[in-house]
Amino acid sequence: MKIIMLGAPGAGKGTQAKMIAQSYKLPHISTGDIFRANIKEGTDLGKEAKTYMDEGKLVPDELTVRILLDRVAKGDCKDGYVLDGFPRTIPQAEVLEKELEKLGDKVDYAINVDVPDENIINRMSGRRACLKCGATYHIKHVPPKKEGICDVCGSELVLRDDDKPETVKKRLDVYHEQTQPLIEFYTKRDVLKTVNGNADPKDVFAAIKEILD
């Protein structure tokens, strides 16, 4: 079962990807993680990716797909995997599709975790982080015991720049322009399934489980 997770930043697709991976005993593959692993291990692919990253450039789609295919060729992926954070654009999806076809393979499900922009902005602007120990909170859903103070180490909690409404709005604009077209791309391939991401994460997962079972 090869699954791709789609959804806007902050829609909760990463959380759902982890829950799917755990429940179905599939590897959860995030492109960020495999880049870091290849660079750390000093593989040829990692060295190639690092030359782009060191210059502040985006790693080309072909190289990203090569690194990804190298990962999914490993033994733990024989029954499938959950892809999180890739593809992000139509060209990436086309390269991935072409390379999987060469292996006689294809994506089985593209799961779109759908949350309106307004809800995402409210959700993310409520996040608070402790820069000292890395603990995270949400002023409404997971508040600290004492307002503005970390339960773990007692440091002050902050609203990260990434979670500020204006930053979230910019990220959503990029998503709508570059990533949202994938919904149509995977609809045409008859593998897209959409779930309401506004619900409690457990309920969102129950809806996904119904699709996969």
- The residues annotated as belonging to the active site are 13, 88, 127, 160, 171
Nearest C-alpha neighbor of 93 from the set 172, 28, 181, 202:
181
Nearest C-alpha neighbor of 83 from the set 138, 159, 21, 5:
5
Do 11 and 115 form a contact (C-beta atoms < 8 A)? Answer: yes
Buried b (16+ CB within 10 A) or exposed e, 87-120: bbbeebbebbbebbeeeeeebebbbbbbbeeeeb
Category of 57 on φ-ψ map: left (φ > 0), alpha (ψ -120 to 50) or beta: beta
Do 19 and 205 form a contact (C-beta atoms < 8 A)? Answer: yes
CA-to-CA separations, 33 to 36, 67, 71, 108, in angstroms, rounded: 5, 11, 11, 22
Give me the residue label for tokens 């603990």.
135
Give me the residue label for tokens 């190298």.
70
